[in-house]
Structure 1
């Protein structure tokens, strides 16, 4: 999804994505939580895949993306060609939505013209499954922790290949994200008020609060300006 200035058209598109929920056609395998609630930012597009040749520190371009299995579950694969015999290997990054990615590392001591890899499932990072939250509410606040009603927010995931996603908060300053991958470094955001006026660059936590009652609605995490932003 391309980044656009906050505005009505983009807000309507984002609202449609959130409202579509489980009925939205998906082009990749989702954890059950995502299949139930929908996937923020997904329009059924193919995943964005980037491959870096670590031996020469160079991105490979035009890496073929192949539908390995039409599903369910749907699985994607890539072909690295030419595949060089290198100890440094290749790093693969796949972005399925702005908040859902996977990555892999490939190295092979054999010399071969090409290498085919089935992409790890969404949420798999460094070979292990990262927690994925079905519902992830965030309250957009100012430097005094006061809610900013109807704020426009550019969510800027720190994942290779991710595109910013602009959504609008409700009258209480809350945006409910769906299918968010746990990220201990948090997610960067840019906040505008209800008129589109720029307010601050900041972040939101990438880990949801632990609930004592499993049936309780998760409490929103709070956004915050980066240090040094004027109050």
Structure 2
């Protein structure tokens, strides 16, 4: 399958995955985590828990004319997940869990000889309930072309600072929308991936308004605003 076909498939399934909701996506990831080593399983569960506490929260905002306003988080779109050859597996699984539970589709690119095979990760997630195209494995020689594609909204990377700089330059040189770069360079302590708000790096904020009043709005509120007597 060619790069544009991969991108098209990822775009086509993103909305459905994003609209599943946090509980459903979390359940899929929890099933997947049971196949992983204990430390990686704990990381997936941790990312799901933190996303539920931070990214899944819906804030109800005041409606001046009686409408219902809700502020919520949604996935950004297509993300690339990649790591350095020396990055621990737990870093990779932390990136994947945070990106997926928040409603993004991902391309996984892992270096040759890495302890995990990207195709195996994609297959495991599909077996656990992810639709085809939510997770796509690519080879290292395809990474640069994918990063430069305007449909990709961001890259999550764990590894060397020099590689972070290189990725930042590639993303800055792209045409179109600015792309996100989420990097972890301390692969021993994992202060970024281990942050309680790490999942918020993979979301965008949206507002949903529902008009629950009669045509013309809430008459009482409108009258109060005009200084009428009651």
TM-score (norm 1): 0.27
Structure holding more helix per residue:
2
Q: Which has the higher contact order (CA 8 A, sep 6+)?
A: 2
TM-score (norm 2): 0.27
Structure holding more strand per residue:
1
Q: Greater Rg, structure 1 or structure 2? A: 2
